[in-house]
Structure 1
Amino acid sequence: MVFDDLAPRPWAGATAGRRDGDDRCPGALRLHEAADGWLARVRVPGGRVTAAQALALADAAAEFGSGLVDITSRANLQLRGLTADAAGPLAGVLRAAGLLPSASHERVRNVLASPLAGRDPRALIDGSALCAALDRAICADPVLAGLSGRFQFGVEDGAGLLAGADVDVLLAAVGPDEVELVVGGRRTDRRADVSAAAALGTAEARAFLARAGGAWRISSDRGANRGHMTPLAPGSCLEQADGRGATTALVPLGRLDAAQLRGLARLAPELRVSPWRTVTLVDLPDARRAADGLRALGLVLDAATGWHRLTACAGLGACPRARLDVRAAARARGTRRRATDPPEHWSACPRRCGLPAGEVRAVTWTEDGIDADGRIVPDLTAALEAVT
């Protein structure tokens, strides 16, 4: 795994932006108004969703909204097109499904983990169990309700998939029963056994709130030696430590509809969503049969797909600031790109919401025209040609 050198508490002298007013990150209880209706962001720590929970989300998306569910860049789920009065009924559905264990902490339950956590034979610890323990510890600490909705926890189980993640407080396995605290991408000299790891992570978050008040997140000084998250390739299959299987599919532009979500619930007892806009089905008796089911749902299982690392903002009709239908253009790009092409993001306004970290080929609407990776062009057709 690749982390920066030992450096305790990097937030002591630098923080990643300071809060300006109220934290407006959407949640499951406080909805966000968009052009296509209201939006609810449901935190699913570790990206873990049981089949029963997937069915509940699909039903809620269809009953209260447009039936569309987005996978976010932090492996959470967003229900789109909700009615203005949907917050109360939606909260009831989420509580019954076990997706809203704490009303006060629901927006700070941001815990990133490998889609294979608890199943990967390469792992040093059970990342799924630690992720659940960390979530419980966050919800049990009243102080941590004061974190911003952008603050990110993480669990790296030793398999290396999250070694380069942009995470504020990361618990990284260094042995079969030991984790190290990584803060803002920098290693520390603080370690704990797995049973005390969640307390180690929440203590660091409390210290951040106490001594670096007014900041959204811990600084992530990502130098040239920083790693990158390693995505699971679409179509990859893994034999779990218990002999069952797991398989991964890519969700084009990270958007599912209610029917697809119901279909996923029928294929596996549990699914995992990821920041790479993938869905991994775990605990499968027959991974090959599940792969056929994923293809039938319209998901991508080709490792050479051009959909890999292609993203877009909500776009015209979904955001009041949007000036272009960038999602339609991005869908056209998905059929033209190569898997080896650099990350690419299409934005319908200069805010460039959802832009991934690092070097990205960006297509952005501006007052002067469309900036197609540094070249100003008049329309989306020209933008598609410019980046091809």
Structure 2
Amino acid sequence: MMAGDGLLVRVRAPLGRLTVAQAIGLSDAARRHGNGQIDLTNRAALQVRGVTEQSHPALLGQLVALGLTDPDPAREARRNFLLAPDWSAGDDTENIAQSLLARLDDLPDLPPKIGIAIDTGPAPCLTLVPADFRFERSSAGTLLLRAEGHALGTPTTAETAVQDLIALTRWFLATDGATSGRMTRHKAPLPAHPKVAPAAARPIPQLLTQAPGPFHGIPFGRLDADGLTALAGQQGVVALRLTPWRGLILEGGTASPDHAFTDPLLRIDACPGAPACPQASVATRGLATRLAPLVDGSLHVSGCAKGCARPRPADIVLTGNRGRFDLSRKARAGSPPDQASLAPDQILALFGSH
């Protein structure tokens, strides 16, 4: 995808995990073939920024060599799934993911934003992360497959999970799901009557205390190649696990990282804004950084009405509009404003900055 600073190239690490060698190799690729800036997305993918048309083929070649992308674009497009980041070797989350990787050719070609969450820990943790089909655990400990937009799921097992998903995705396409684009917008009756409720969601801080290493927060999900190399080189670290919460789990690490999960900056959603995004008419992250300690609850600062950084509502939303901001409460980006055409200083004053 083209942005203001060049092409964005998305990288989905297998199982949401970068080995130390892969992290160092990705850092080198971002320097050689991009501008050295890397984003961590809200679907736990990475984006190499600043790639040119000329450097793009060499970057893809390096990513294939590192095992970070499939040489077949059609297979890579099907590999749009997200794992709960506290999975362990041999558990249901890893087993279902490995089975899906083995059967990528059996998955149909789905609309590009369709995602699959594999979230089979003791209770779901990815409930608020965008996905269309979800493997989750019920309160009784059984596995279920749930279509987004439906409160209940259908029973499945680790052995039948992938076949059940393939059948559900084929139903989605056969009932004109491609026109809907996303499961939440698809109104066709489900092929099997859902009857199992997922367990109540796990609090993220609880999950992180049980993760295989400390959590390192990344404000706005932006880090540079040198920073990624430094994290991979910390004592004891054997891999970096990607999370959808703007941070990495330093698998095997013991050092206290910067930006704990409670850091106010990690509550803030802000897209790159102008000039990095051609759709944006305002700079976003400088204002978001200043507002972080002043705003209670969630804050979304969006460069335009698309709201790419946060699809769900926030307590306070600032949407760029012709070089100024519209302010909405309990809303999404682009919602009708409560106050319109505000300058950054006016916004800061509203929240008590002097």
Larger RCO, structure (CA 8 Å, separation 6 or more):
1
Q: Which residue type is aligned with residue 129 of structure 1?
A: N
Distance 1:76 1:68 in 2: 14
Distance 2:15 2:149 in 1: 19
Distance 1:228 1:150 in 2: 26
Matches within 5 A, 1:1-388: 32-44=1-13, 46-101=15-70, 102-118=72-88, 125-137=91-103, 139-141=104-106, 144=108, 146-157=109-120, 158-174=122-138, 178-186=142-150, 190-212=154-176, 213-219=178-184, 232-233=204-205, 236-238=208-210, 245-267=212-234, 268-282=237-251, 284=252, 287=254, 289=255, 291=256, 294-295=257-258, 300-301=259-260, 303-334=261-292, 336-337=293-294, 341-367=296-322, 369-373=324-328, 374-387=338-351
Distance 2:198 2:312 in 1: 12
Identical residues among aligned pairs (%): 28
- Write the deviation string for residues 166-223 of structure 1: whole angstroms up to 9, x where unpaired: 42111113489952110114255632321221222222112211222423111269xx
CA displacement at 1:337 relative to structure 2: 4.0
CA displacement at 1:155 relative to structure 2: 1.1
Contact 1:171–1:182 (8 Å) recurs in 2: yes
Contact 1:164–1:228 (8 Å) recurs in 2: no
Contact 1:166–1:220 (8 Å) recurs in 2: no
- Write the deviation string for residues 47-100 of structure 1: whole angstroms up to 9, x where unpaired: 322222211211111111110100111111111111221221111111111111
Name the CA shift for 1:384/1:46 in 2 (closer, same or farther; >3 Å).
farther
CA displacement at 1:333 relative to structure 2: 2.5
Matched position secondary structure for 1:195:
coil
Matched position secondary structure for 1:202:
helix
CA displacement at 1:385 relative to structure 2: 2.8
CA displacement at 1:266 relative to structure 2: 1.7
Contact 2:124–2:137 (8 Å) recurs in 1: no
Distance 2:291 2:206 in 1: 18
Provide TM-score, normalisation by structure 2: 0.82
Distance 1:189 1:160 in 2: 13
Q: Which residue type is aligned with residue 148 of structure 1?
A: P
Name the CA shift for 1:167/1:276 in 2 (closer, same or farther; >3 Å).
same
Contact 2:86–2:207 (8 Å) recurs in 1: no
Q: Where does the alignment leave 5 or more consecutive residues of structure 2 unmatched?
A: 187-196, 329-337
CA RMSD, 1 decimal: 3.0
CA displacement at 1:345 relative to structure 2: 1.0
Distance 1:234 1:385 in 2: 36
Contact 2:220–2:266 (8 Å) recurs in 1: no
Contact 2:124–2:199 (8 Å) recurs in 1: no
Name the CA shift for 1:265/1:379 in 2 (closer, same or farther; >3 Å).
same
Q: Where does the alignment leave 5 or more consecutive residues of structure 1 unmatched?
A: 1-31
CA displacement at 1:131 relative to structure 2: 2.3
Deviates more, 1:59-68 or 1:99-108: 99-108
Distance 1:210 1:260 in 2: 46
Give the paired residue count. 328
- Write the deviation string for residues 91-133 of structure 1: whole angstroms up to 9, x where unpaired: 11111111113421323322122111127xxxx9432332232
Distance 1:250 1:76 in 2: 15
* 2:334 corresponds to: none
Deviates more, 1:198-207 or 1:70-79: 198-207
Contact 2:117–2:134 (8 Å) recurs in 1: yes
- Write the deviation string for residues 255-300 of structure 1: whole angstroms up to 9, x where unpaired: 0100111112223222122221111122x1x52x3x2xx33xxxx0
- Write the deviation string for residues 315-347 of structure 1: whole angstroms up to 9, x where unpaired: 11211122111122122233x246xx3221111
Distance 1:75 1:275 in 2: 4
Deviates more, 1:88-97 or 1:126-135: 126-135
Q: Which residue type is aligned with residue 180 of structure 2?
A: A
